[in-house]
A and B are shown apart, each in its own frame.
Chain A
């Protein structure tokens, strides 16, 4: 087991080096890309700030707190996207053209190999912007940035990225079942968008569904609710402590689902 982990980490390192090399080769277009992404998200942050400031708050969450939700979600999404986005993006094409056979011919387990080989640098803008917003919000909310806090934040973000990773895998896995999954990419964008807002705005039924079925609430809402000491009414008040467990569970389930779907693979004939 440990041997296997080391091996795939070695592979990841190899592919990461390749991705970074590629980025440095096309560094100007990469930079322009990053800047436009940063601009895009900055505008969304701005709009959100405008919206919430016009009203006093949203269910007890003021503008900075909601922006914190957004920043946490965006960062976790960025980590997940770094390792998983390319799987979702490229797998349908590989299956259609039959190049997925290549993966099957190698003496590697499919999923760890796909994760190792899909590293991309494109989420740097997301993560940098998120960190800046987090810093600004912590300052505005007068929260002391201690080592303990950083440790907690790192934990929240890491487990959050597992949940997004699981979502990416579920969407990617459907590529084995349906030819074109471009429309399913919306699943990712939708859940990311919904996670920007406190779950307490939804009626109870939706809250339950959203916490058990696709637990995106554990990415940012529940942990931040506890961190910031919010008191808004939500069905599962103590859910924050379950965040790591929920993340690992969800990720494991998605891995299993992906594995099952991959068995349906029929390569396109000659």
Chain B
């Protein structure tokens, strides 16, 4: 029984195209040109409980969009998503209790106060039992070695320290599912290593189903058992890490980053063959 089921999901946006020139000012106000942009196109996959899945793709490939749809932030234009028997965008509130989300490019912590204050806020919002809360806080502080900067305002933390706090925050309410959208972006090697270890620990100890998107191939290599490669809104590979390496190792290409680059380049040539994507 799969925990997460995404079937034939597409997401299209309508974008206004302003016409240039002074003559078109009036037209721009009253009947502007519109263009359909496809972010995600007919994507399907299944994830089982306890899996550690990685998403790779270029910027604009549709990774973040897919995660947002799975979190209930966006409605898909077509297709269905089921997460733990719930439709995330229809039962947003219930689904929110089951997921923990970390956005690498945005912070969910309160900027001016120490992380504890944000933790307390989340305790209120997620209605976490006091004992559970205390236990988790202590455990995370220890596992991520945050004792030194625990009381510092978030504003003064380094990016690595902040990201550890973000990851801890997302797991306070012990969700069965964890989505991480580029959590290691901009981090130094030590911080990256600690966060990767932490994610693997959680998955091993608690069986947290984890989805990780990243541009850093090492992240995925270290952490994930299975990867899904997205390009221009479609899945071009979905399988285990070993299969990926086996299939895409060519002469002189043993580095994962090169493999992925090759895949992107291949897809640029095939993309114009009958696909309905406009960019």
Contact = CB atoms under 8 A, between A and B. Distances in A.
Interface in A104-140: 104-109, 113
Interface size class of B (residues with CB under 8 A): 20 to 34
B71 interface: yes
B75 to A, nearest CB: 8
**Best-surrounded residue of A10, A108, A269 (most CB of chain B within 10 A):** A269
A137 B65 CA distance: 59
Interface string A3-33: 0000100110010001000000000000000
A107 B71 contact: no
A269 B279 CA distance: 14
A185 B47 CA distance: 46
A7 B71 CA distance: 23
A108 B122 CA distance: 11
Interface string B58-80: 01100111001001111000000
Interface stretch (B102-110, B217-225, B265-273): B102-110
A267 B124 contact: no
A267 B73 contact: yes
Contacts of B64: 269-270
B125 interface: yes
B202 interface: no
A102 B99 CA distance: 12
A107 B126 contact: yes
A11 B71 CA distance: 23
Contacts of A267: 68, 73-74
A98 interface: yes
A7 B127 CA distance: 9
Contacts of A180: none
Contacts, number: 60
Interface in B130-187: 181
B74 A106 contact: no
A180 to B, nearest CB: 14
B125 A105 contact: no
The winner among A10, A97, A106, A108 for most chain B CB atoms within 10 A is A106
B32 to A, nearest CB: 13
A101 B126 CA distance: 16
B101 A105 contact: yes
B92 A98 contact: no
A106 B118 CA distance: 13
A14 B106 contact: no
A113 to B, nearest CB: 8
B63 A105 contact: no
A111 B63 CA distance: 28
Of the candidates B72, B73, B96, the one having the most CB atoms from chain A within 10 angstroms of its own CB is B73
A270 B73 contact: no
B40 to A, nearest CB: 11
A14 B119 CA distance: 13
Nearest to A113: B125
B124 A104 contact: no
A14 B124 contact: yes
A106 B96 contact: yes
Contacts of A109: 93
Contacts of A7: 127
B97 interface: yes
A107 B13 CA distance: 26
A269 B93 contact: no
A5 to B, nearest CB: 14
B94 interface: yes
B93 A107 contact: yes
B39 interface: yes
Contacts of B59: 270
B73 A104 contact: yes
Contacts of B65: 269-270
A99 B111 CA distance: 13
A4 to B, nearest CB: 11
Contacts of B108: 102
B124 A269 contact: no
B231 to A, nearest CB: 15
Contact of B96 (A97, A99, A107): A107
10 contacts: A11-B124, A101-B68, A105-B72, A106-B125, A107-B93, A107-B96, A108-B93, A265-B73, A266-B13, A267-B74
Interface of A: 7, 10-11, 14, 18, 97-99, 101-102, 104-109, 113, 265-267, 269-270
Interface of B: 13, 39, 59-60, 63-65, 68, 71-74, 92-94, 96-97, 99, 101, 103, 105-106, 108, 117, 121, 124-127, 181
Query: Which 9 pairs, one residue from A and one from B, show the smallest C-beta to C-beta distance?
Result: A270-B64, A107-B96, A107-B97, A104-B73, A101-B73, A107-B93, A105-B101, A14-B124, A106-B125
